[in-house]
Amino acid sequence: MFRIGNLSAEELREKYGTPLYVYDEVQIKANINEYKDNFKSKLYDTKIIYASKAFSSLYMYKLVKENNIGVDVVSGGELYGVIKEKIDPNNIHFHGNNKSEAEMDMAIGYKVKNIIVDNYDELKMWAKKTPSINYELNIMLRINVGVSAHTHEYIITAHPDSKFGYYIENEDIFDSIKLIDSTPNMKFMGFSTHIGSQIFDMRGFELTIEKLFELMKKTNRKIEYLCLGGGCGVKYTDADKPITLKEFSNILIDKVDNEIKRTGISISELSIEPGRSLVGNAGYQIYTINQMKKALNKTYYFIDGGMNDNIRPALYGALYSVDIANKIDEAKTEVVSIAGKCCESGDVLFKDVKLPKAEANDLLVVYTTGAYGYSMASNYNRLPRPAVVFVDGNNSRLAIKRETYEDLYKNDLD
Ligand SMILES: Cc1ncc(COP(=O)(O)O)c(C=O)c1O
């Protein structure tokens, strides 16, 4: 029987039901520590900032706080969570394009220190507010370096026409720095970038770092801070060959150190914003297989969840590895497709996977579902979102309750 920590998938089903998201807390901490131990340089301070769009919950924010790393939020909703969890405002990095005025006021109300400005219009909105506030904002400009990382097109965020950030060739970067310098309570800190996600090929990062140093040179002033975003890939299937977090960190640090030596331009702090690589491999989904069906050429196993709890296969063809948790040692004699219960023919989560012959009530485990799973879940077909459980060795705790039918209608008016 497959186990997460010391708890079997069956024990977890008995206690919490299925479908279920399960996080191995030990793995999350190991990932954080691998980054902390290796993303270090003698030339500047470094910071790990968790990109909480990958998975947010109050308990996850608590782990962020306990492990003393920063956190990236992109919306009022994520901001609300970190405020509720009383995260130090100096450790909050507020990202996102098209921040609303209400979101800005919420950030200012909590004295959020680090603002990653996406475009000149946004900067002007902040500049109207800061003269009347009683603390200083650290302003970083998000730069679109125009590098496309080698990954799936929907997850790329830094091609020249991306909606995110200041395009690196545009003059408004310099206009923005001038505006920051002339506005009370704003301090220009430097640049932030994010070139894409699920990246295995580090050349995109190396080129990005070179381009950022060229930009820093053009500004002709001291730049305190650089952020290289997230993007480190994880292993979903055997076809993925990710590098370790140690290798990823070492390559970035070596490149930045070399650029400092080559250009003579120094920085005070370098950060990264891992999302997927911090929680992805710590997460599992467990479903109950209810029914099997033979179509003309395909066999389907039907599970009690679907695209509402994992949209990634339907959204951008994401692939995963799966097993029958209670038949982990049995021969994989069948080639089957795993379909969910949504009324959508695209709701086939895992196509043509090899598995043992299933019976009703078997448990399907899906690996590496910790990132962009729960955070992208929906209530399509009025399906309640599953519960989220954290396992630490022999212990488990409910981090997010399973939605009830009552929850699904709580905002409806008849
Ligand atoms: C600005 C920024 N930082 C970090 C991340 C996290 O990326 P990943 O989950 O690939 O590490 C994202 C993801 O979209 C992002 O947009």
What residue owns the CA closest to ligand 1's atom 7?
230
pLDDT over 70 (residue 386): yes
Domain coordinates in residue numbering, the chain:
3-21+281-408, 39-274
| Alpha carbon of residue 410 to chain centroid | 29
Q: CB of 251 within 8 A of CB of 208?
A: no
pLDDT in tens, 115-132: 999 999 999 999 999 999
CA 305, CA 289: separation in Å to the nearest integer?
9
Average pLDDT of the chain, as a whole number: 96
Q: CB of 190 within 8 A of CB of 223?
A: yes
Say whether 72 sits in a helix, a strand or coil: strand
* CATH architecture observed for domain 39-274: Alpha-Beta Barrel (3.20)
Q: CB of 59 within 8 A of CB of 81?
A: no
Cβ neighbors of 9 (< 8 A, separation 6 or more) are: 1, 2, 3, 286, 325, 326, 363, 365
Cβ neighbors of 258 (< 8 A, separation 6 or more) are: none
Q: CB of 311 within 8 A of CB of 376?
A: yes
pLDDT tier at 134, thresholds 50, 70, 90: very high
pLDDT over 60 (residue 357): yes
d(CA 276, ligand 1 centre) in Å: 8
pLDDT in tens, 146-199: 887 765 555 555 677 788 999 999 999 999 999 999 999 999 999 999 998 999
What residue owns the CA closest to ligand 1's atom 12?
230
Q: Which residue type is seen at 174? A: F
- Ligand 1 pocket test, pick from 28, 49, 53 with the greatest ligand atom count within 8 Å of Cβ, gives 53
Burial class of residue 353 in the structure, from the number of CB atoms within 10 Å of its CB (0-12 exposed, 13-18 middle, 19+ buried)? buried
Task: Count other Cβ atoms within 10 Å, centred on residue 159.
Answer: 16
Phi (first) and psi of residue 283, to 5 degrees: -110, 145
CA 216, CA 223: separation in Å to the nearest integer?
7
* CATH architecture observed for domain 3-21+281-408: Beta Barrel (2.40)
Residue 161's pLDDT is: 79
Residue 154's pLDDT is: 52
Give percent of the chain with pLDDT exceeding 90.
93
Residue 157's pLDDT is: 59
Q: Concatenated DSSP letters for 341-379?
A: SSSSTT-EEEEEEEEPPP-TT-EEEEES--SSSGGG---
pLDDT over 70 (residue 284): yes
pLDDT in tens, 29-87: 999 999 999 999 999 999 999 999 999 999 999 999 999 999 999 999 999 999 999 99
Q: CB of 260 within 8 A of CB of 252?
A: no
Same fold, 3-21+281-408 and 39-274: no
Which atom of ligand 1 lies nearest, measured to the CA of 193?
1
The question of whether 343 is a catalytic residue gets the answer: yes
Which residues contact ligand 1 via a Cβ below 6 A? 51, 53-54, 72, 95, 157, 194, 197, 229-232, 273-277, 371
Say whether 16 sits in a helix, a strand or coil: helix
**Closest to 113 (Cα-Cα) out of 203, 165, 185:** 185
* pLDDT: which is higher, 334 or 154: 334
Say whether 258 sits in a helix, a strand or coil: helix
Report the largest interatomic distance among the alpha carbons of the chain, rounded to a whole angstrom: 70
d(CA 193, ligand 1 centre) in Å: 9
d(CA 305, ligand 1 centre) in Å: 26
pLDDT in tens, 200-259: 989 999 999 999 999 999 999 999 999 999 999 999 999 998 899 999 999 999 999 999
